[in-house]
Chains A and B, each alone.
Chain A
Amino acid sequence: SAVISQKPSRDICQRGTSLTIQCQVDSQVTMMFWYRQQPGQSLTLIATANQGSEATYESGFVIDKFPISRPNLTFSTLTVSNMSPEDSSIYLCSVESPDRVFGTGELFFGEGSRLTVL
């Protein structure tokens, strides 16, 4: 299993500002995932972050808007840049369990960061 600490847990931000979310894992993991969950909606994958390489972004998400750092195997940050009210959402950090069966394992999630942009 993996324990994930994510902060801030919530924040209220002004339009046009940027906020960085931190994700700390209690074990070394190869891949970390960032998801967005808008109110009442499902989880949408933003990007996959591997240590030592640039993050891979999903369609509709770009590095300029959501820059990601992955300096080591236990830590990652996601920045939400130049925020607008449409960015109000919960942002979730996730890692895959190393217990793999046929190629994939379960995901563990942080508690999430609830951002409100005014």
Chain B
Amino acid sequence: GQQVMQIPQYQHVQEGEDFTTYCNSSTTLSNIQWYKQRPGGHPVFLIQLVKSGEVKKQKRLTFQFGEAKKNSSLHITATQTTDVGTYFCAWGNFNKFYFGSGTKLNVKP
């Protein structure tokens, strides 16, 4: 079956440092999404990538989808305390959506 690994599990950074989380699949993905879940909150959609090699930016966030559509990354430049939360990748498969294990980001001021 399809296996998607998300790393790292935790990341502690000093405010202003960069942060990256990765999702790696054993099979080709038709699309990948990224969500952010603040402590005590529910997941909130950030972006969707569907094309091979696609790169999208949202202010300090950069999202990439690999050429083979088997991996994806979310990079945050110059983290802020408002970036604290857990970041999940997710993918759709036959109208169902599955989530990676998540990367919990803690930002020290």
Contacts and interface: CB of A to CB of B under 8 A. Distances in A.
B31 A103 contact: yes
A91 to B, nearest CB: 11
Categorize the interface residue count of chain B.
Answer: 20 to 34
Contacts of A111: 41-42
A53 interface: no
Interface string A23-65: 0000000010101000001111100100000000010000000
A109 B42 contact: yes
Categorize the interface residue count of chain A.
Answer: 20 to 34
A24 to B, nearest CB: 15
Contacts of A42: 88, 99-102
Given A33-B97, A101-B50, A107-B97, A43 B31 contact: no
Contacts of B100: 42
Contacts of B43: 43, 92, 107, 109
Contacts of A58: 96
A111 to B, nearest CB: 6
A108 B102 CA distance: 18
Interface of A: 31, 33, 35, 41-45, 48, 58, 92, 94, 96, 101-112
8 contacts: A31-B95, A48-B95, A48-B96, A92-B42, A104-B31, A106-B45, A106-B48, A110-B42
Given A42-B99, A106-B48, A109-B44, 6 more contacts: A45-B96, A92-B42, A103-B92, A104-B33, A104-B97, A109-B42
